[in-house]
Amino acid sequence: MHELIRATAREVLARLNSGEISHGELLDVLEARVADVDGAVNALPTLCFERARERAASIATRPATARGVLGGLPVPIKDLSDVAGVRSTHGSPIYADHVPAQSAHVVERIEAAGGLVYAKSNTPEFGAGGSTFNEVFGRTCNPWNLARSAAGSSGGAAAALASGTAWVAQGSDMGGSLRNPASFCGVAGMRPSPGRVPRGPTADLFGSLSVEGPMARNLGDLGLLLDAMAGADPREPLAQPAPNVSFRAAAEAPQVPRRVAFTPDLGGLTPVDPEVAAICEAAARRYEALGAEVVEASPDFTGAHEAFQTLRAVAFATGHAAHYAEKRGLLKPDVIWNIEKGHALRGEDVARASLIRTRITAGLVDFLGEFDLLLSPATCVAPFPVESRTVTECAGVTFDTYIDWLAMAYAITLTSAPALSLPCGFTRAGLPVGLQIVAPLRAEARLLSLAASLERELAVETGPIDPRPGAASG
């Protein structure tokens, strides 16, 4: 493995800015790494290195201070976000040959900040589901064990980070799509507040369940990419201006919280694998070594399943109205189920879901008036076999739908609170486990700073690694 592949994004950026390495040399190293390992992982099915080289040539002519926050750092884009002139499939046969003329707003933001788009990362069709597979490109495997899932829907992004084919990666999150794959692949993924990062063009600019966000192998690099992504977009009504503080600087200035809460199951909302729960609790307790008080407690998430399922169905019915009307036969069953569930809803169903969401959010706000952070497992299970479409049961409890197993993440989605998944340990089988860390509303910088102290205390190995074969069961 080339030493540049092992380096952090910030180390690579410093070497680019100093002139120690050129952008062309960096892209050569990265392209060689992709050729070496991605055949086994299938994280980056669409490559556009020539596009990246053309843009790198322009960036290289500028002084380091005029290259943007990312300074010519390569960034893969999740295949749900269009990149102008690059095949962008959304994981769907409907868009199998789609080459858009315009990039998504978040891609424009990343490129304006000096990011070099060199690849599209794999995703399930329209991001539906917590396992990364689709009819266009197939399945993405977990680098820690190629027989296991990378989760989803930002599974390609997480697997690229773990296997050393990315230093930072863009993704998106509705029901945990940044946090779940981060947990499964042993990297960091943050769901920012709605409006923190541009998410258009989209059929519903007023939706607040889905957000764009960063992934990286460590929190400092995560903050770097969030600095590049964050900020108001004049085309988006819910956009928030970027705060005056640098997210990278916040992550590089670890602070110890005074008092944190840990819950293994969000107050009994969902079953959790006992080994996963134990690993996460042991990690949370490490805050005690830093001087923080750790209390087992949880806000009330009663009704989260109903509220999320209802509001998610509304989002799918809104976002995919044209697909359903014109291309229904090309949609996978899970997407059709989500859309038709939305069509069947009554006004009183949506009203009830909104009332539940408001109550849960108010409860979390009050709760985080007493605690600096809420900690929990990021997922209820460790990485499952890659051939499985979803998780059907956990700890003896059978799930009703294909997304029920994501409740640890989607309950937090309802509140709009920023949350991240931090690598916190490994199972006896050597599979990564992530700790979900939740902060008060709009407090991304505080979240990064408080989580960084635990990251330093845990010192978990986050790769990159060479992909590891493994047994499909056990």
Amino acid sitting at position 416: S
Backbone angles phi, psi at 303, to 5 degrees: 90, 0
State the total domains in the chain: 1
Give the residue from 60, 231, 33, 69 showing the smallest Cα distance to 143: 33
The CA distance from 244 to 419, in Å, is 20
The CA distance from 140 to 152, in Å, is 9
CA 355 vs CA 240, 257, 311, 368: distances in Å = 24, 31, 11, 20
CB 45 within 8 A of CB 122: yes
Question: Which strand (E) or helix (H) includes residue 236?
Answer: none
Q: Is the peptide bond before 153 cis (omega within 30 degrees of 0)?
A: yes
In a domain, 235, yes or no: yes
Torsion-angle region of residue 176: left (phi > 0), alpha (psi -120 to 50) or beta?
left
The CA distance from 390 to 151, in Å, is 9
In a domain, 40, yes or no: yes
In a domain, 465, yes or no: no
In a domain, 104, yes or no: yes
The CATH code of the domain that includes 279 is 3.90.1300.10
Active site residues: 78, 153, 177
The predicted structure's pLDDT at residue 470: 86
The predicted structure's pLDDT at residue 223: 98
pLDDT tens for each residue of 96-136: 999 999 999 999 999 999 999 999 999 999 999 999 999 99
pLDDT tens for each residue of 298-313: 999 999 999 999 999 9
Q: Are strands 393-394 and 397-398 parallel, antiparallel or unpaired?
A: antiparallel
In a domain, 67, yes or no: yes
Dihedral in degrees, nearest 10, Cα atoms 218, 375, 232, 177? 70
In a domain, 95, yes or no: yes
Q: What percent of the chain has pLDDT over 90?
A: 98
In a domain, 395, yes or no: yes
- Count H helices and E strands in the chain, helices first: 16, 17
> What is the span of the domain harbouring residue 314?
3-458
CA 330 vs CA 94, 131, 270, 444: distances in Å = 6, 19, 33, 39
Give the residue from 123, 130, 75 showing the smallest Cα distance to 413: 130
Name the band, by pLDDT with cuts 50, 70 and 90, for residue 471: low
Dihedral in degrees, nearest 10, Cα atoms 232, 178, 305, 277? -140
In a domain, 474, yes or no: no
pLDDT tens for each residue of 193-232: 999 999 999 999 999 999 999 999 999 999 999 999 999 9
Joined tokens for residue 241: 């201006």
CB 160 within 8 A of CB 462: no
Scan for tokens 């410093």, then name that residue: 14
Scan for tokens 């497992």, then name that residue: 377
Name the band, by pLDDT with cuts 50, 70 and 90, for residue 163: very high
